[in-house]
Amino acid sequence: MELLKQRIMKDGLVKAGNVLKVDSFLNHQMDIALFSEIGKEFYRRFMDCDVTKILTIEASGIGIACVTAQFFHVPVVFAKKSQSKNIDGEVFTSRVESFTHGRVYDIIVSKKFLGPDDRVLIIDDFLAKGSALEGLCKLVQDSGAELVGAGIVIEKGFQEGGKLIRGHGVRVESLAIIDRMDDVTGEIFFRP
Ligand code: 5GP
């Protein structure tokens, strides 16, 4: 998605440790006009999939998921990050390792909001090592819902997440895939 790539080039900051900072337009301050174009593009790619629900993970996926949901006219469910050791039986749960914070946490979704009648589109801001997306896929699988695919805003193609999740047979659509970035020069190279 050209508009997104241009924005990443203009305002994205490459940090040490393979981290791309996009907090001026994507995951801290949010450019809603851009979100709207992102939502339209996800809709264009998944409009024929009879999506009944969009699933994301707190916090940074929520804004993009909500704007996207306006094009699909479906509810958004976000997985909550939970510290709690004794999670009751009323939730689907899985374990996620945070790329940016380097710790492990549980994510939960109430059984009230995902079930066998659902056709789920997962939306998230980044795909890096794939742990967040894998955790979300497991929640969908456990609920008996059909996973139609995952829409990712920025995939870091030089990390293993894309290969891992596509290897499970999941359709992953990323709007910008970065093949290489350099924290010394600040250069970002996209997959054509
Ligand atoms: P993964 O589980 O695929 O390793 O990482 C995905 C999650 O980590 C995303 O939901 C995102 O919040 C965060 N993340 C991964 N890489 C980056 C990055 O380069 N920049 C930012 N801002 N967040 C990232």
Domain ranges in the chain? 2-78+112-190
DSSP 8-state code for residue 146: E
pTM: 0.96
The amino acid that residue 92 corresponds to is F
Q: Is the CB of 62 under 6 A from ligand 1?
A: no
User: Could you list the pLDDT tens digit for every one of the 192 residues in the chain?
Assistant: 999 999 999 999 999 999 999 999 999 999 999 999 999 999 999 999 999 999 999 999 999 999 999 999 999 999 999 866 556 679 999 999 987 788 899 999 999 999 999 999 999 999 999 999 999 999 999 999 999 999 999 999 999 999 999 999 999 999 999 999 999 999 999 999
Beta strands in the chain (DSSP E): 13-15, 19-21, 53-57, 76-82, 91-97, 104-110, 119-127, 146-156, 172-181, 188-190
CB of 79 shorter than 6 A to ligand 1: no
Tell me the CA distances in angstroms from 94 to 58, 133, 135, 137, 143, one per residue in order.
14, 11, 6, 9, 12
Q: Ligand 1, residues 24, 123, 124, 126: which to mutate, most atoms within 8 A of Cβ?
A: 126
Which overall architecture, per CATH, does domain 2-78+112-190 show?
Answer: 3-Layer(aba) Sandwich (3.40)
Are the C-beta atoms of 188 and 178 separated by less than 8 Å? yes
Q: Which atom of ligand 1 is nearest to the CA of 21?
A: 22
What is the best residue among 25, 64, 125, 160 to mutate for testing ligand 1's pocket, by most ligand atoms within 8 Å of CB? Answer: 125
Count CA atoms closer than 13 A to 69's CA, side-chain side. 20
